[in-house]
Amino acid sequence: MRFCAHCGVKLANDNPKCPLCDMDTEKIDDEFSLDYPYIKSRFTRGLLIRLISFMAVVFASASFMIDHLVPTGSPWALITIAAIVYVWISAMNLLRHTPNPASIALCQLFCIGGLVFFIDFFTGFYRWSVNFVIPFLIIGAAIATTLMIAIRPMKYRAFTIYQFVIAALGVLSVLLWVFGWSEIEWPVVTAAGVSILCFLAMLVFSYRRTQHELKKRFHV
């Protein structure tokens, strides 16, 4: 133990300085206690987030400047920026969450959907994104989430809510065709059908669990 004459207190730890007044202390016996570990300042998640965000801004502005100085007439800079935004959102999603596969799937569904639509739109709008990619993304996400819940219900039953959202998106995707954005009917109808069937399957095979899960989410 040590003693600080200035404050008149004994010190349990073996620090040469007094934690209260920062003055030198004297040793009175060899006993001391280890109460807290030494914490190294580490590379934290906050720093990583800032680093990734800053890099995204750097790349985006670089491509913008190059496009401005060397005009090509092609929309490559816009597409690059869209890709950077996609990478940034995915990185934030992965960094913020402890692995939650369903939320990652939903985030990817939105981001990839947005990205392909953007690319398609700026390269002549041949409608391949709305015709095929987005409906098939919805089908993929619906099946993946259903499989997760079916295989490990104990761990993933809280994902019912994501499945519910995906089913809603599937239904909404029919609007793409209704409003004439997509030219081919069968992919959107398939997406709506598959996502609703997946949700129905949950309802049919574990009605009480699904109902319970939705009740929790929407309780007032």
With tokens 């920026």, the residue in question is 81
Residues 139-198 touching other proteins, rule: CB under 8 A, are 154, 158
Q: Is 7 among the residues that bind Zn ion (CB under 5 A)?
A: yes
Closest CA to 78 of 140, 142, 133, 121: 121
Which of the listed partners (other proteins, Zn ion, none) does 220 bind, with a CB threshold of 5 to 8 Å by partner kind? Answer: other proteins
Q: Which of 80, 90, 103, 190 binds other proteins (CB under 8 A)?
A: 103
SS3 54: helix
Which of the listed partners (Zn ion, other proteins, none) does 212 bind, with a CB threshold of 5 to 8 Å by partner kind? Answer: other proteins
d(CA 188, CA 185): 6
Residues 32-71 touching other proteins, rule: CB under 8 A, are 33-41, 44, 46
User: Could you tell me where the DSSP H helices lie in the chain?
Assistant: 45-69, 76-96, 101-122, 128, 134-151, 153-156, 160-178, 185-205, 207-217
Q: Which residues bind other proteins (CB under 8 A)?
A: 1, 4, 6-13, 15-16, 18-22, 33-41, 44, 46, 96-98, 100, 103, 154, 158, 212, 216-220
